[in-house]
Amino acid sequence: MPPILVTDDGPIRIIRMNRPEKKNALTLAMYDAMAQAIEDAQANEALRCLLIAGAPGAFCAGNDLNDFMAMTQEGELGAPILRFLYALARNEKPLVAAVSGVAVGVGTTMLLHCDYVVAGDDARLSTPFVPLGLVPEAASSLIAPRLMGHARAFQLLVMGKPLGAATAKESGIVNTIVPPAGLDDAALAAAREIAALPPHAAAASRRLMRGPVEGIIARIDEEAAAFKDRLKSPDAKAAFAAFLGRKR
């Protein structure tokens, strides 16, 4: 089966990361496939809501290690990653997420672009960018402080402190918490409720709430430039060498 499954259930497009053996660590090809699914939905008026989901116990473990190590050698952020982040930022359809288990790096920052997040009580969000000598991405440095306040966002994005499901809900990232066995049903029910709303009113309201997309895109680009610089830095190289040493 492909690592990204895209299915349309009436007015809902379900984008499911399907690489459970790697805890849905994202390859560049997976980024491209998810971006394509989001982009294609924009012109389809029959689709009124998007739902991003993962596997039981693993929403997304962040970037695939092999792809990421290649990026550290090249000092470049892969184009498919930026394509996916732009697709999230420019998306005009209400976006729901179903999160179970680990949500690392982009597995957490993509949630900041979602409108409704259903989490299993086993969810664990973390963004270990700075401990790896890097900086936050996906406009998280802009959106997270707005959403959570500076203090909580600093603890998550800079200190790399993980959030359990309850704390993520208190912080405004998660809407509701359910047992993992009921996660998909609860997320789909939320997506159906949203899809039943008048679509143009929902889209207009969402645009007003999110503010100008240009600011989000500009922050994605600013973060990406800093990320590239950090990939080449001695402290990032040392952090990755230590990380790989622990993995062996």
**pLDDT at residue 248, rounded to an integer:** 53
**pLDDT at residue 75, rounded to an integer:** 62
CATH number, residue 144: 3.90.226.10
Sites in the chain below the pLDDT cut of 50: none
- Domain of 27 in residue numbering reads as 4-179
Does 227 map to a domain?
A: no
Task: Give which of 21, 15, 51 is closest to 36, Cα–Cα.
Answer: 15
Question: For residues 72 and 235, is the Cβ–Cβ distance under 8 A?
Answer: no
Question: For residues 139 and 119, is the Cβ–Cβ distance under 8 A?
Answer: no
Q: Check residue 75 and give left, alpha or beta (phi > 0: left; psi -120 to 50: alpha).
A: left
Does 152 map to a domain?
A: yes
**pLDDT at residue 73, rounded to an integer:** 67
Task: Give which of 127, 129, 172, 123 is closest to 149, Cα–Cα.
Answer: 172
Task: Report d(CA 109, CA 209) in Å as an integer.
Answer: 18
**pLDDT at residue 26, rounded to an integer:** 97
Domain count, the chain: 1
**pLDDT at residue 233, rounded to an integer:** 84
Does 194 map to a domain?
A: no
Does 185 map to a domain?
A: no
